[in-house]
Chain A
Amino acid sequence: EAGVAQSPRYKIIEKRQSVAFWCNPISGHATLYWYQQILGQGPKLLIQFQNNGVVDDSQLPKDRFSAERLKGVDSTLKIQPAKLEDSAVYLCASSLSLSLNEAFFGQGTRLTVV
């Protein structure tokens, strides 16, 4: 079974630039999550989708971050404009449903804002 795929693996941008990350969840997984992991901290949920609808985006900085999952499969997370404090690893995860199913994580995208 293929795992959660993310790209790119690494990205370096200057502040005020924009950047987009892509995630393809495990086939058949209805729930998709984006987490932000700042160095030395645990992952923090940014947004959660159930199919193509947003379930929880309470911790997403909506003035600069956006995410979509238009067809209920793959998803993109965008930052525009980026700030230095956005430097982090962005993790995508998926699970079969909203209930207590195991969440499977991708390898993440490491973003460095300079």
Chain B
Amino acid sequence: GDSVTQMEGPVTLSEEAFLTINCTYTATGYPSLFWYVQYPGEGLQLLLKATKADDKGSNKGFEATYRKETTSFHLEKGSVQVSDSAVYFCALKIDGGNKLVFGAGTILRVKS
């Protein structure tokens, strides 16, 4: 079945460090890929998305590129801030399908 695997956390970084959170997927069709973020005490929010191979999603300094050859959608940010501390979820949705399939989430902690 369709599934998403994320790197385990928590990931602890100092402010202004480079961030990578790995995400790989298994899908039978042609998925669209997403990163959602959950800040403390808040609901899930869409961070970025990519709908086809080689697309790059970007938002708030975060980027992720849809790599079909490696079935990956790694999240990156060049310089993290304390306010980026949150849980990050990678997810997929099959074209024509109805549901999001989420990874387990990665906790990011940024220290000042």
Residues of A within 8 A of B (CB): 3-4, 33, 40-45, 48, 55-56, 91, 93, 98, 100, 102-108
Q: Which residue of A lies closest to B95 (CB)?
A: A100
- The 9 A-B pairs with the shortest beta carbon distances in the complex, nearest first, are A42-B102, A105-B44, A105-B43, A45-B99, A107-B43, A43-B102, A42-B104, A102-B46, A42-B103
A48 to B100 Cα, complex, angstroms: 11
Residues of B within 8 A of A (CB): 4, 32, 36, 41-46, 49, 51, 89, 91, 93, 95, 98-100, 102-105
Given A33-B99, A107-B41, A100:B105 Cβ within 8 A: no
Q: Which residue of A lies closest to B43 (CB)?
A: A105
Chain A contact surface mostly: loop
**Complex contact B32–A100 (CB within 8 A):** yes
**Complex contact A105–B45 (CB within 8 A):** yes
Partner of A44, one of B49, B98, B102, B105: B102
Could you list some 30 contacts between A and B, CB below 8 A? A3-B43, A4-B43, A40-B104, A41-B104, A41-B105, A42-B89, A42-B91, A42-B105, A43-B44, A43-B89, A43-B100, A43-B102, A44-B102, A45-B99, A45-B100, A48-B99, A56-B98, A91-B43, A93-B44, A98-B98, A100-B51, A100-B93, A102-B49, A103-B46, A103-B100, A105-B43, A105-B45, A107-B41, A107-B42, A108-B43
Given A41-B104, A42-B91, A100-B93, A56:B32 Cβ within 8 A: no
